[in-house]
Amino acid sequence: MSQENVETVRRAFDALSRGDVEAFIALHHAEGQIHELAEVPDHRVYRGHDEIRQWVEAGLQIFPGVQWTLEEVLHDADDRVVVRTGFRGQGGGSGVPVDQTVFHLIEFDDGLVVRAQAWFDREQALEAVVPSG
Residue 110 pLDDT: 93
Pick the CATH number of 2-129 from 3.10.450.50, 3.30.930.10, 3.90.1150.10, 3.90.1530.30: 3.10.450.50
Q: Identify whether the C-beta of residue 114 lies closer than 8 Å to the C-beta of residue 31.
A: yes
Distance CA 25, CA 39 (A): 24
Domain boundaries of the chain, sorted by first residue: 2-129
* The pTM of the whole model exceeds 0.85: yes
pLDDT single digits (tens) 78-125: 899 999 999 999 888 888 899 999 999 999 999 999 999 999 999 999
